[in-house]
Structure 1
Amino acid sequence: MLVIGFPTGALQANCFVLATGEGEPCVIIDPGQDAVEPIEQALRKHRLAPVAVLLTHGHFDHTFSVAPVCDGNDIPAYIHPDDVEMLADPLKGVSRESAAFFGGNLEMREPSEVRSLDDGLDLDLAGLKITVDHTPGHTGGSVMFRSGAQEGGRLVISGDTLFAGSIGRTDLPGGDHSRMLSSLQSKVLTLPDDTVVLPGHGPTTTIGRERATNPYLVGLDAPAAPHRGL
């Protein structure tokens, strides 16, 4: 699997491009602020053809470039229905302080085609099998994307649900700490330790490392249930 990642915008949100290899179709995940040019550079360098944009949640630092990327390549955007309103109203999901920072005005629009993500949905895009896990807490429509690498490895794009050493904040509009804890228990801690985590901000990590060292996960027991991993 080819994985290209780079931080975007003032808040350094990670954007990812996934493909089975060079010269193949690809999916783009979380095209944030100032993401159009680096995405185009990655597509040219690796000879990739985008087929869809996937959004882990609706916050503008992860979605700001979704309309130009989607409409410029004639591809759909996928987002959970609970966060779709933020595509046209990006200040809906931010704090008063953040809104004031942008002068109370941050203009975005929905791309031409928007499709819904639901919990447990299995997507077959660009030759990749991707499973959607609804993980409300950071926002009501937060999701993670699970996929299996050709080498047999496991990958999860966690958005702002899980970071290296931390988790997403739950004090913004739409955030809910109790739902976040439930998501961590049922959707994160049930993943195998060797699962590689590509978070919405910061460096790559693994589920095993976070299970052992992340202060928000240590002592948070996973439910007794069969393993759900790929």
Structure 2
Amino acid sequence: MLVAGFPVGALQANCFLLAPAEDADCVIIDPGQDAVEPIEEALRKHRLTPAAVLLTHGHFDHVFSAAEVCRAHGVPVWIHPEDRAMLADPARALGPTATALFGGRIEMAEPDEVRELAGDSVLELAGLSFTVDHTPGHTKGSVCFRISTEEGGSLLFSGDTLFAGSIGRTDLPGGDTEEIMRSLKEKILPLPDDTVVLPGHGPASTIGRERVTNPFLSGGGASFPTRGL
């Protein structure tokens, strides 16, 4: 399996490309701000053809380039229905204070073809099989994508639900602390320790490492800052 990842935009959101191998179809996860050029570079380098765009949630730092990427390659975008409205109206998920930090207005357009993710389902794309876990809390439509590797392990694309050493913030519209803690307890913590976590911001980790060292998962996290937009 080929996995290419890189941070993009002012908030350094992680964008990922996945494919069974080089010279194959691929899936693009979370094409945020300024993602078009590095995506095109990775497509050329690995001779990949996009089949779809997957979004872990609707915040603009993860979806900003989705419409342009989808239009350029004629592919659909997949997003949970609870977050779909953010594709055309990103400010509704930020609130006035956060929106003001970005000049008071963020203009985006919904991609031409939007398909809605069903929570807790399996999605077959580009020769890959993704398990979709609905993990509300950071936003109402936050999801994580899980995929097994040929070596027998698994990858978790956790978006802004789980980070190395932290979790997603819940103080923006649609955020809910109780919900994100429930999502972590019911959907994330039961995963095997060797599951590799590829988050929406920051470095990779593993479920085993986070189970032991993440203050939000091991108790006493209230005094630690959350992350994400």
**1:49 counterpart residue number:** 49
Alignment coverage as a number of residue pairs: 220
Opposite residue 36 of structure 2, the aligned amino acid is V
- The superposition leaves residues 130-153 of structure 1 with CA deviations (integer Å, 9 ceiling, x where unpaired) of 010000000000000000011111
1:219 deviates by: 4.2
Matches within 5 A, 1:17-28: 17-28=17-28
- Unmatched runs of 5 consecutive residues or more in structure 2: 221-229
Q: What secondary structure does 1:217 align onto?
A: helix
- The superposition leaves residues 83-113 of structure 1 with CA deviations (integer Å, 9 ceiling, x where unpaired) of 0000000111114332112222110010000
**1:127 counterpart residue number:** 127
**1:224 counterpart residue number:** none
1:21 deviates by: 0.8
**1:228 counterpart residue number:** none
- The superposition leaves residues 61-82 of structure 1 with CA deviations (integer Å, 9 ceiling, x where unpaired) of 0000000000110000000000
CA distance, structure 2, for counterparts of residue 166 and residue 101 of structure 1: 23
Q: What secondary structure does 1:50 align onto?
A: strand
Q: What secondary structure does 1:179 align onto?
A: helix
> For structure 1, which segment, 88-97 or 56-65, has the greater mean C-alpha deviation from structure 2 after superposition?
88-97
1:120 deviates by: 1.7
Q: 4+ residue runs of structure 1 moved beyond 3 angstroms?
A: none
CA-atom RMSD, angstroms?
1.0
Q: TM-score, normalised by structure 1?
A: 0.94
**1:111 counterpart residue number:** 111
**2:140 counterpart residue number:** 140
**2:167 counterpart residue number:** 167
Q: Say yes or no: does 1:154 pair with 2:160.
A: no
- The superposition leaves residues 135-175 of structure 1 with CA deviations (integer Å, 9 ceiling, x where unpaired) of 00000000000000111111000000000000000000000
Opposite residue 204 of structure 2, the aligned amino acid is T
Identity of aligned residues (%): 67
Q: What secondary structure does 1:216 align onto?
A: helix
CA distance, structure 2, for counterparts of residue 96 and residue 120 of structure 1: 32
**1:66 counterpart residue number:** 66
